[in-house]
Amino acid sequence: MRDEMIQPNNHRIDEEKYKALLKYIRLNVTEKYDFPQEIVQIEGVTVATLGNFSASTGKPKSKKTFNVSAIVASALSGKEVLKYKADLPSCKNRVLYIDTEQSKCHCHKVLHRILTLAGLPTDKENENIVFFVLREYTPDQRRDIIRCALQEEQNIGLVIIDGIRDLIHDINSPSESLDIINELMRWSSYYELHIHTVLHLNKGDDNTRGHIGTELNNKAETILQISKNMENGKISEVRAMHIRDKEFTPFAFEIGEDSLPHLVRDHHFKMSKKDRLSSYMDMSEEQHRTALEEAFSQNEVMGYQMLIDAIKKGYDSIGYCRGRNTLVNLCKFLIQHNAIVKEGRGYTYNSQFHL
């Protein structure tokens, strides 16, 4: 009955099925409902769950597809790639990758990169990833192909749509944008999988493009922003633009001589004007912990001035660059929450703190 009632399509529900449908859609306080299974994390922070959708966004040449490749490689291998750790359930361990922009030659490079990052053979087909190249088709045809693929392919847990803009005719059409976002919600919920899409940012600012970008911001579980470092264009930085879970610490990667993305350790983040307005009180516990571990990496006990200098170094490392007055208030905040403990004339770091 469920298949007949809520098959994701554009047909209206028949009246005779309405009562049966009510039993499925009605929420009952006496029933227990499972939380969506977490399938992709960054250092313990959930960025993707089954039954939801997310997006990577960035300006052209920011290496968005390289970032997505790392997510898929982790999903196929179960290993951490860059900072992504994916864990697909055994019954949904396959990936459907849709590319709407590139030629087969370029898509082949992406597939080769994914398998290499995952540590899997590249001289034979891998049944756990299905890669479709839809460049030559119309937006309507692309959506039909995706619908058919979701119906026919078994055990899909992760879907990548690299180029969601190409599934609609007009990126600024409110009706088209709402329609495709509703499709993402239907597909991800009905097939109990996660959909990760890719969308460009505006050239003039850091807003997602068109009306579809607005809808993505409103409905997506997570939006990752990939941007070039302002001082070194070879380095790409990954931040949470929007996220339902607590925010993760930004990280950076660069493309090595092997044409694969590699994590850039000890990277100094220079925050945008918008980011600089954020408060340390809005940071996640993981962000504070990362900064404090860096601050106390050289000394376990330190005096007040040394503490201020260390705090500046530690928080600079996660992109939170502030002057002395803010750092003084930050220290008070950390002492109040027992993250920093005063012992005699010195200060120590309490790694067991909780905010």
DSSP line for 12-64:
PPPGGGHHHHHHHH---TTS--PPPPEEEEETTEEEEETT-EEEEEESTTS-H
**What pLDDT band is residue 303 in, cutting at 50, 70 and 90?**
very high
- Written as six digits, the tokens of 156 are 């899909």
| 152-174: average pLDDT | 93
**What pLDDT band is residue 279 in, cutting at 50, 70 and 90?**
confident
Strand order in the sheet with 301-302: 301-302, 346-349, 340-343
**Distance of alpha carbon 146 from alpha carbon 159, whole angstroms:** 10
- Rounded to the nearest integer, the mean pLDDT of the chain is 87
Assess contact for 226 and 55: CB atoms under 8 A.
no
**Distance of alpha carbon 55 from alpha carbon 87, whole angstroms:** 18
Q: What is the pLDDT of residues 26-51, one digit of tens each?
A: 888 888 877 889 999 998 899 999 99
Specify the pTM: 0.72
- Written as six digits, the tokens of 347 are 């200060």
Residues 6+ apart with CB under 8 A from 38: 46, 48, 49, 87
Assess contact for 196 and 39: CB atoms under 8 A.
no
Domains of the chain: 38-267 (3.40.50.300), 280-349 (1.10.10)
**What pLDDT band is residue 325 in, cutting at 50, 70 and 90?**
confident
Q: Which residue has the tokens 């633009």?
A: 241
Distances (CA, A) of 80 to 41, 72, 85, 346: 9, 11, 4, 38
Which pLDDT belongs to residue 168? 93
**What pLDDT band is residue 278 in, cutting at 50, 70 and 90?**
low
| Cα first-last separation, the chain | 47
Residue 53 has pLDDT above 90, yes or no: yes
- Written as six digits, the tokens of 271 are 């925050």
Assess contact for 149 and 141: CB atoms under 8 A.
no
Distances (CA, A) of 349 to 6, 170, 244, 281: 54, 54, 29, 18
**Distance of alpha carbon 332 from alpha carbon 267, whole angstroms:** 27
- Written as six digits, the tokens of 96 are 């459907």
Which pLDDT belongs to residue 271? 55
